[in-house]
Amino acid sequence: MYIIRPLLFSSFLWISAIINQLHAAEIVLEGSFQGKNLYVLNPFDRNGESFCITEVLVNEVPTKDEIHSSSFEIDLIALSFKQGEKVFVKIRHVDGCLPKVLNPEALKPRASFETATIKADEKNLKFVTRNEGGALLFTVEEFRWNNWRKIGEFMGKGVPELTEYNQPINIHVGLNKFRVSQTDYTNKPKYSSIAQFRTNINVPEVTMKLDKGVVKFSVETVYEIYDGFANKVKSGVGNQVDISDLAKGAYHVYYDDKTGEIVKNK
């Protein structure tokens, strides 16, 4: 008894050491399914007797891919993932060698959305998407003062099914234009079609005047005020803005879809 137990214990340690060595390291990739497989280079281990990779798991389930090869495919397509579905890959390998995933960007979300509908009214921009390739930020822009300017940003749901979104907006007199976009790892934005909304022809133009240190607009409007060095000093939404705290000088005022200039003398 005193001889067998140490041998059994020693054997257990030896087996455990082998298992720990086999699973000494792992590469982890996390992202979303984009309809592509992963390609892996699999070198020999440091002894040159077997391949480096010992196991591949996708969402914690061992794959049936043929890993005993110098290169192989992790067949995600065969696993019937939906577009944009979360994918978590572990590549376990022995210590002293390092496999290489040739296309890790295959799991990165892509700006693949399509706008099924996009419409604007007096208060909201509403749009419906499909085929989102993973969760990415939506940027909402309006065309005002001869430029596209960001007015909102929120995370998309990243699913292929039809998905509804709503963004509050502030319109100006005349023709209003809005669009949304997403930018993925390529740094190239993908834009929606443009939604347009025209105010009633009887809506009067917005006017502006300076009255004792207060810029007053005829109705509530979006505004931005810049100094002579093109620095933005005031911005917001309202029917008046106090500029008593600003230095003397000329200022450019952007309001509604118009521009003007004021001079502060005191």
Domain termination site, one of 88, 107, 126: 107
Q: Name which of 6-10, 110-114, 211-215, 260-264 the model is least confident about.
A: 6-10
How big is the chain by its Cα radius of gyration, in Å?
A: 30
Q: For position 15, what pLDDT does the model report? A: 31
pLDDT over 70 at 151, yes or no: yes
What is d(CA 19, CA 30) in angstroms, rounded to the nearest whole number?
Answer: 25
Token representation of residue 131:
């085929």
90, 118: one domain = no
pLDDT over 50 at 2, yes or no: no
Mean residue pLDDT of the chain comes to 90
Reported as a pLDDT band with limits 50, 70 and 90, residue 47 is: confident
169, 126: one domain = yes
> What is the mean pLDDT of the segment spanning 207-218?
96
Q: What is the dihedral of CA 104, 23, 87, 99, to 10 degrees?
A: 10
What is d(CA 183, CA 174) in angstroms, rounded to the nearest whole number?
Answer: 30
Q: Which residues contact 124 (CB under 8 A, 6 or more apart)?
A: 166, 167, 168, 169
Residue 168 lies in a domain: yes
96-105 residue pLDDT tens: 899 999 999 9
Predicted TM-score of the model (pTM)? 0.81
Token representation of residue 102:
């040739």
pLDDT over 90 at 57, yes or no: yes
148, 82: one domain = no
Identify the CA nearest to 63 among candidates 77, 75, 72.
75
pLDDT over 80 at 249, yes or no: yes
> What is the mean pLDDT of the segment spanning 200-206?
92
Q: For position 24, what pLDDT does the model report? A: 67
Residue 9 lies in a domain: no
Q: Name which of 14-18, 49-53, 237-241 the model is least confident about.
A: 14-18
The pLDDT > 90 percentage for the chain reads 84
156, 236: one domain = no
Domain termination site, one of 79, 107, 135: 107
3-class secondary structure, 16: helix
> What is the mean pLDDT of the segment spanning 108-125?
96
Identify the CA nearest to 106 among candidates 87, 92, 130, 122.
87
The pLDDT > 70 percentage for the chain reads 91
Question: What's the domain range around 154?
Answer: 114-198
Q: Are 119 and 192 in contact, with CB atoms under 8 Å apart? A: no
pLDDT over 80 at 59, yes or no: yes
235, 194: one domain = no
Residue 11 lies in a domain: no
What is d(CA 171, CA 175) in angstroms, rounded to the nearest whole number?
Answer: 9
48, 123: one domain = no
48, 65: one domain = yes
CATH number of residue 141's parent domain: 2.60.40.10
Q: Which residues contact 170 (CB under 8 A, 6 or more apart)?
A: 151, 221, 222, 237
Residue 35 lies in a domain: yes
Q: Which residues contact 157 (CB under 8 A, 6 or more apart)?
A: 132, 135, 163
Domain termination site, one of 198, 219, 234: 198
- Looking at the structure of the chain, the number of domains it has is 3
182, 148: one domain = yes
pLDDT over 80 at 87, yes or no: yes
DSSP string, 48-116: SSSBSEEEEEETTEE-----SSSEEEE-SGGGTPPTT-EEEEEEEE-TT---EES-GGGGS-B---EEE
Identify the CA nearest to 62 among candidates 80, 77, 75.
75
166, 86: one domain = no
Residue 91 lies in a domain: yes
